[in-house]
């Protein structure tokens, strides 16, 4: 692919996130363009194609034919979580770069397959955590790494929403398709962001899951709270829920000050970064911008410059390793150790 040419994408999965956020972002990106759409429903693909000016539409049964499309350099995977691994492996085998929505996959084993396939076929793999590029989150990260908050002691994060009882049945409440409930869907943001801010991965997890509607949440968790111990004594605590009004925040406490980003994760709201450092209050506001454009442009730059993107596939592996430990702790009612996930043992299946 020429260095100045826009990266051509096939977008897989045409649910609400694709229609509301991903596909509109391509209209604004100067470095990426959509050349193909893939859905389980060809009618849906054609409808979205007409709406967003994309001529070539495919079903999942024709995925290999889509991957042979001469204009497709990369795939944006926005399908159900349970399909991410297979779709990534097949794309990598066809020499296509992969930008995959979070969570990366339903298991560490599947994540490792994805990393190995992309490494073997020398294509780039990026996990779609928008927070690495969103200005409010970047400002919080810089504040933490500057040392102005001092030694980190606690990080807290929450993400909640009320799921539509009808729509959720199709995949969010299906353990095979979703891989879990609120933790996998939205709590993964808390897991990743706290790791990113801490600059380390947790050593162990303690968790508790609950619901007041066990009939509805019989296959996946509704609400879950977890505690992650990091090196140096840093404690990270998070919660996610499908039964509370939409809200999110991240709050970081050090021995010299504290800072909070609220709201933290929703992409359609103005953000506020505020706190107190050595007794002095500060506050910044960040207007709504298209975070998906920033994400697309960052991946395009990684492809053009032949370098691994951030966040790469290993960040996704580490997140799912943490999620698996959280789930195990909740099931077994005990603290569970988290083994370090390194590139070598990830690819060796250790």
Catalytic residues: 102, 189
Length of the chain: 350
Cis peptide upstream of residue 2 (ω within 30 degrees of 0):
no
User: Which uninterrupted H or E stretch holds 13?
Assistant: none
Residues 6+ apart with CB under 8 A from 2: none
Token reading at 55: 């001529």
Q: 């499908």: which residue's tokens?
A: 242
Q: Can you list the positions of beta strands (E) in the chain?
A: 7-12, 32-39, 56-59, 74-77, 97-100, 125-127, 152-162, 204-210, 223-229, 235-241, 243-254, 257-262, 271-277, 280-286, 336-337
Sign for the pseudo-dihedral over CA of 262, 264, 269, 274: positive
**CB 129 within 8 Å of CB 104:** no
**CB 91 within 8 Å of CB 75:** yes
């Amino acid at each position: 692919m020429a260095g100045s040419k826009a990266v051509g994408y096939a977008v897989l999965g045409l649910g609400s996130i694709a229609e509301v956020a991903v596909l509109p972002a391509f209209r604004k990106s100067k470095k990426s363009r959509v050349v193909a759409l893939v859905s389980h429903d060809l009618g849906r693909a054609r409808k979205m194609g007409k709406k967003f000016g994309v001529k070539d539409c495919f079903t999942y049964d024709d995925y290999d034919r889509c991957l042979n499309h001469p204009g497709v350099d990369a795939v944006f995977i926005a399908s159900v979580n349970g399909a991410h691994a297979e779709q990534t492996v097949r794309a990598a085998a066809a020499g296509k770069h992969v930008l995959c929505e979070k969570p990366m996959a339903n298991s560490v084993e599947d994540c490792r397959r994805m990393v190995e396939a992309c490494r073997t076929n020398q294509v780039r793999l990026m996990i779609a955590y928008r927070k690495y590029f969103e200005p409010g989150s970047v400002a919080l990260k810089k504040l933490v790494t500057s040392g102005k908050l001092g030694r980190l002691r606690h990080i807290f994060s929450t993400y909640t929403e009320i799921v539509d009882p009808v729509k959720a049945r199709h995949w969010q409440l299906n353990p095979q398709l979703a891989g879990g409930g609120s933790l996998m869907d939205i709590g993964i943001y808390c897991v990743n962001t706290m790791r990113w801010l801490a600059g380390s991965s947790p050593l162990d997890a303690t968790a508790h899951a609950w619901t007041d509607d066990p009939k509805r949440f019989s296959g996946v968790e509704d609400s879950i709270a977890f505690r992650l111990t990091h090196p140096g004594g840093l404690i990270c605590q998070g919660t996610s829920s499908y039964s509370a009004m939409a809200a999110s925040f991240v709050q970081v406490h050090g021995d010299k000050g504290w800072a909070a980003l609220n709201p933290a994760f929703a992409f359609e709201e103005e953000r506020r970064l505020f706190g107190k450092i050595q007794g002095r209050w500060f506050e910044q506001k960040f207007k709504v911008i298209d975070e998906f454009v920033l994400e697309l442009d960052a991946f395009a730059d990684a492809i053009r410059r032949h370098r691994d993107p951030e966040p790469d596939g290993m960040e996704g592996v580490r997140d799912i390793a943490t999620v698996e430990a959280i789930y195990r702790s909740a099931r077994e009612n005990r603290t569970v150790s988290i083994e370090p996930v390194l590139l070598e043992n990830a690819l060796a299946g250790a």
